[in-house]
A and B are shown apart, each in its own frame.
Chain A
């Protein structure tokens, strides 16, 4: 029993942090919405009504989509792009999809390799890109959710401001949709770029996201 929390510490810790902050967001968002509703002549709503509202859904989904976009792009970009000296980067000689030998495929598969890695053909091809593709799928699903919930929330605002509601197509071309999307994307890209560059020169002892403290700045693809 004690091994499970230790072996799954990262997943458990961030899963709990996710739930705690989601609950916090629900309370803060409900208070914020009620404040706005009172200002424009509406009545406040309860917490349950808020967490099932489009207002809450769009605020959650717009952040999820940007996180999954970040991971999808990072996973695929690091196949082809490098940052010399960064532990997040491969060295120049390994850029690209790499050989079957490097990837433990074909004759190099191990007995304990995943079944689809051993299967060959389309299964291995699909499994070889499964991490990036799942992140892409989660991004598309979250972004679609943002567009649907965002339209609902936007139309509610439109009607409360005595303006016509818009279609889904109008909404995905609207300033509101792109403002919500781009403000999240820019922060994700800044974070990835900062991490790639700062990890060349700075260290965090014991973290696999950092190089060992004594490693030269020029060393690439080392973690400590």
Chain B
């Protein structure tokens, strides 16, 4: 029993580390690339389709004006991700339909949550 618990104690961190592998990171990067490409191309409708339902609330999809930029850093933790681009900070959420942007045009507020032009808290 003690040996079994030792195994679990050692194995749990390994499982956790492997759970944060590059697979999710690649998917998030691709979703962010698609989103920023749509913004850069001025295709607001396509960018709007990549938002979560909650982020789309109250958004005028025909005139989405966001910074965009190229993806520089990706952090994925479970079903949530943060992407830093050369111009912006994006937040993404993994839903059954794939990774969707839950916040864009976000600015840090010291110890408080980011404020976002689209979506956000």
Contact = CB atoms under 8 A, between A and B. Distances in A.
A152 B80 contact: no
A83 interface: no
Q: How large is the interface on B (under 10, 10 to 19, 20 to 34, 35 or more residues)?
A: 35 or more
Contacts of B103: 162
B72 to A, nearest CB: 15
B102 interface: yes
Interface in A110-162: 134, 137-138, 141-142, 144-145, 148-149, 152-153, 155-156, 158-162
- Give the one of B9, B54, B108, B114 with max A CB within 10 A: B9
Contacts of B78: 53-55, 152-153, 155-156
Interface residues of A, number: 36
B35 interface: no
A15 interface: yes
A53 B19 contact: yes
Interface of A: 11, 15, 37, 41-43, 45, 52-55, 57, 60-61, 64, 134, 137-138, 141-142, 144-145, 148-149, 152-153, 155-156, 158-165
Interface of B: 1-2, 5-6, 9-10, 12-13, 15-17, 19-20, 52-54, 75, 77-82, 91, 93-96, 102-103, 106, 108, 112-114, 116, 120-121
